[in-house]
A and B are shown apart, each in its own frame.
Chain A
Amino acid sequence: MSGTFVGMPAFPTAAREALADTQLRRNLAHATHTIRDKRARVVAEVEDWEDLRLAGAGVKEAALRDLATHLETLEASLVRAGATVHWARDAEEACAIVADVARRHGADEVVKVKSMATQEIGLNEALEAEGIAAWETDLAELIVQLGDDLPSHILVPAIHRNRAEIREIFRRRMADVGRAAPDDLSDEPGVLAGAAREHLREKFLRAKVAVSGANFAVADTGTLVVVESEGNGRMCLTLPEVLVSVVGIEKVVATWSDLDPMLRLLPRSSTGERMNPYTSTWTGVTPGDGPQEVHVVLLDNGRTRALADEVGRQALRCIRCSACLNVCPVYERVGGHAYGSVYPGPIGAILNPLLRGVSDEQTASLPYASSLCGACFEVCPVRIDIPSVLVDQRAAVVDSHRGDRVPKAEAAAMKAAAWTFADARRLRWAERASGLAGRVLGRFSRTTLPGGRAAAGRLPGPGAGWTGARDLPAPPAESFREWWDRTDGGQDGDRR
């Protein structure tokens, strides 16, 4: 019971449709600005925020630099603490491991803590195919799941929905999968949360198996950490008998004290809170307390591919805070679905191509889904230079087409531009041609731009992408370099 990102069109097409969704535009603008402002306020309170960012980046960078060693330490610590460790090369292997654990306990349902890794591997669909129902228990994930919808934000996956829509989803769908929403359900946030609480409680109390991800995995102690706001995650982590955690291998940090900067950076960056409400940590099995069978699935699924990318590997520092989404002017207008992945926004635009490669058209469109404004880098708590990685991934896309028998029109245009720009004499001829065109266009122009210049009119071909919504000045009759030569740099009188 959920949609799929498989078969999504490339970003420009998906974005065009999203831009026409007026309610989405309104919801997103409101929600992103609210979180953005809140984050800015609480970050401004921290005097040494830049030092903290450096510390956070340092912790993750150190872990990644010697990843294999830290993972082996983590495995040994987990085993020592009574957990079972599994290694999964890809989504299929990871899903099979989780399904196998559930099956061995005769479970036909699992409760889930909000987790990006399990979304990434399509765990819910894989379990459903095995006859096992996976219940999302995070409020926003529940809304997405009940609405047969897709997540559109890392932290607040139902950010594209408003409370009237949520009320409708609860009224129509809750009864199909458990306790129905009350007849008099209003769209008051408190009332909606109350209905979700009642609906989820019976699932928490009934489930034998829980599935989670982890925000951090501490190698030297074997401790997993989940950071959440509702307490629903903690219900899953403590009530069922069996707990399976799917953890990306980049989540490892070396020591317990490494959590210090991370737990200060994450809440301020993600929800704009000074301290996180529910931070759960568990180390294997504790006899008589919590799950008595603990499994940890260490997931690769493209991470070693990303790690091998010299420029792109910094994306593995990401702690999934979503600050980059909330400040991104592109994300703010098109929302998460247009990115065709559980990882949307600026981080998604680099992470997806790094994990998957750029051989399919949809993924190859993602590095271009940015104006390179740099707002994402400015807020990233672990200093991922997203604009630089975007440009590097664009180069990866271009390089992957260098062997094409028929080059794209864009490649031909870039080669022509590079040839022109390689020699000033060629550029001078090009400018003379454009000056001539400018005189003709200027003569026939029916638009005068504010300030007095003539407009070029509507252009054909790729230029229509510009003039469809924007006037363009007709090229001037004389380029700057012609003026410089004619007037000896303006010393010979400025007027023609």
Chain B
Amino acid sequence: MKVALQVTCVNDAMFPDTGKAVVRLLRRLGVDVDFPGAQTCCGQPMVNTGYLDEAVPVVRTFVDAFAGYDAIVTPSGSCAGSARHQHSIVAERSGDPALVAAVAETAPRTYELTEFLVDVLGVTDVGAYFPHRVTYHPTCHSLRMLGVGDRPRRLLEAVRGIELVELPQATECCGFGGTFALKNADTSVAMGADKARHVRDTGAEVLVAGDNSCLMHIGGMLSRQRAGVRVMHLAEILAATEVSEGETGGPAVGARAAGA
């Protein structure tokens, strides 16, 4: 099986550690994962702001980069949702039958990370070790657009050493919403404030989710509040082992100096 990592533009530019964690995790599970260098973005920022024409070349780049792979794995519910549900809209808009056909190939082969682990690889215990108090926020697009259900929870429950605590009103949106966070910043922050409050109420040290964009929003608020809660992508917890715990379990020594 030829497997490609779609790292997503946000992770590529802002959260490379999440991409590295996916690579480590998949290799550990025996998957020879490839990173097609021609990839850029799924086009969701344009589509969700209404710029469909502008999304056409971006979707074209996506289908070209991932042509020929059996599975396209992405550590983002939102980007997987975009590839599966929005690329066809953009392709129709382009009026290019070749793009429509190419999207029909890539869309059903795109998997959010937990879907790939549970449904394709058939694993829930990925051999991870993470001895911390953790609460999980199901992001809206993974929950309602993709319907990942309890897959992330089952994966987390199998992590050794983890203390998983329930997040109150977990299924409520955090208020990120892409350009919504800027266009309606006040409402976005009001929603985020309530999400941050619920996270603090759990007493968790780490908030985990499957989308770094939502975590950037909630984590940004928690950080501003000096709440003492850090955010981590699910992939980074699943990639953590007893050997690597020093790297991902606590503040990495020298991370600040390296800007990473």
- With A and B bound together, what is the CA distance between A70 and B220 in angstroms? 54
Give the chain B neighbours of A333 by CB distance below 8 A.
187, 190-191
Interface residues on A, range: 35 or more
Give the chain B neighbours of A1 by CB distance below 8 A.
none
CB of B23 within 8 A of CB of A489, answer yes
**A81 an interface residue at 8 Å Cβ cutoff?**
no
Give the chain B neighbours of A490 by CB distance below 8 A.
20, 23-24, 27
CB of B176 within 8 A of CB of A371, answer yes
Task: Give the contact stretch, choosing among A132-140, A265-273, A417-425.
Answer: A417-425
Contact of A375 with B173 at beta-carbon distance under 8 Å, contacts A450-B222, A462-B182 already known: yes
CB of A372 within 8 A of CB of B178, answer yes
Task: Give the contact stretch, choosing among A8-16, A99-107, A161-169, A243-251.
Answer: A8-16
CB of B13 within 8 A of CB of A466, answer no
A415 contact from B41, B54, B231, Cβ within 8 A: B54
Contact of A12 with B186 at beta-carbon distance under 8 Å, contacts A418-B54, A424-B39, A489-B35 already known: yes
CB of B40 within 8 A of CB of A421, answer yes
CB of B58 within 8 A of CB of A449, answer no
CB of A330 within 8 A of CB of B256, answer no
**A493 an interface residue at 8 Å Cβ cutoff?**
no
CB-CB contacts below 8 Å: A440-486 with B: 442, 447-455, 462, 465-466, 468-481, 483-485
Contact of A371 with B173 at beta-carbon distance under 8 Å, contacts A12-B186, A472-B220, A475-B13 already known: yes
Which of B7, B58, B190 is the most central at the interface, judged by chain A CB atoms within 10 Å of its CB? B190
- With A and B bound together, what is the CA distance between A269 and B202 in angstroms? 31
Give the chain A neighbours of B228 by CB distance below 8 A.
450
Task: Give the contact stretch, choosing among B111-119, B121-129, B137-145, B153-161.
Answer: B137-145
**B120 an interface residue at 8 Å Cβ cutoff?**
no
Give the chain B neighbours of A469 by CB distance below 8 A.
185, 189, 192, 220-221, 224
Contact of A421 with B41 at beta-carbon distance under 8 Å, contacts A452-B252, A496-B258 already known: yes
Task: Output the least CB separation between A43 and chain B (Å).
Answer: 15
**A192 an interface residue at 8 Å Cβ cutoff?**
no
Give the chain A neighbours of B11 by CB distance below 8 A.
480
Closest A residue by C-beta to B182: A465
Task: Give the contact stretch, choosing among A83-91, A122-130, A389-397.
Answer: A389-397
Task: Output the least CB separation between A82 and chain B (Å).
Answer: 49
CB of B256 within 8 A of CB of A375, answer no
CB of B186 within 8 A of CB of A19, answer yes
- With A and B bound together, what is the CA distance between A447 and B181 in angstroms? 22
**A374 an interface residue at 8 Å Cβ cutoff?**
yes
CB of B47 within 8 A of CB of A391, answer yes
Closest A residue by C-beta to B171: A375
**A282 an interface residue at 8 Å Cβ cutoff?**
no
Closest B residue by C-beta to A377: B144
CB of B184 within 8 A of CB of A15, answer yes
Task: Output the least CB separation between A194 and chain B (Å).
Answer: 37
Contact of A423 with B61 at beta-carbon distance under 8 Å, contacts A452-B252, A454-B259 already known: yes
Give the chain B neighbours of A367 by CB distance below 8 A.
50
CB of A373 within 8 A of CB of B220, answer no
CB of B14 within 8 A of CB of A473, answer yes
B187 contact from A19, A449, A481, Cβ within 8 A: A19
0/1 interface trace, chain A 123-160, chain B, CB 8 Å (1 if under): 00000000000000000000000000000000000000
**A439 an interface residue at 8 Å Cβ cutoff?**
yes
Task: Output the least CB separation between A420 and chain B (Å).
Answer: 8
Known: A329-B173, A450-B227. 7 other contacts (CB 8 A): A374-B143, A394-B50, A418-B57, A451-B231, A474-B259, A476-B14, A476-B260
Residues on A facing B (Cβ under 8 Å): 11-12, 15-16, 19, 329-330, 333-334, 367-375, 377-378, 387, 391, 393-399, 410-411, 414-415, 417-424, 427, 430-431, 434-435, 438-439, 442, 447-455, 462, 465-466, 468-481, 483-485, 489-490, 494, 496
- List 21 A-B pairs, Cβ < 8 Å: A329-B172, A367-B50, A368-B180, A368-B184, A369-B187, A373-B177, A374-B140, A375-B144, A377-B144, A410-B49, A415-B51, A417-B45, A421-B61, A424-B37, A448-B256, A450-B230, A469-B185, A469-B221, A470-B223, A472-B220, A490-B23
Residues on B facing A (Cβ under 8 Å): 7, 9, 11-16, 19-20, 23-24, 27, 33-35, 37-41, 43, 45-52, 54-55, 57-58, 60-61, 65, 86, 140-141, 143-145, 171-173, 175-192, 216-217, 219-224, 227-232, 251-252, 255-256, 258-260
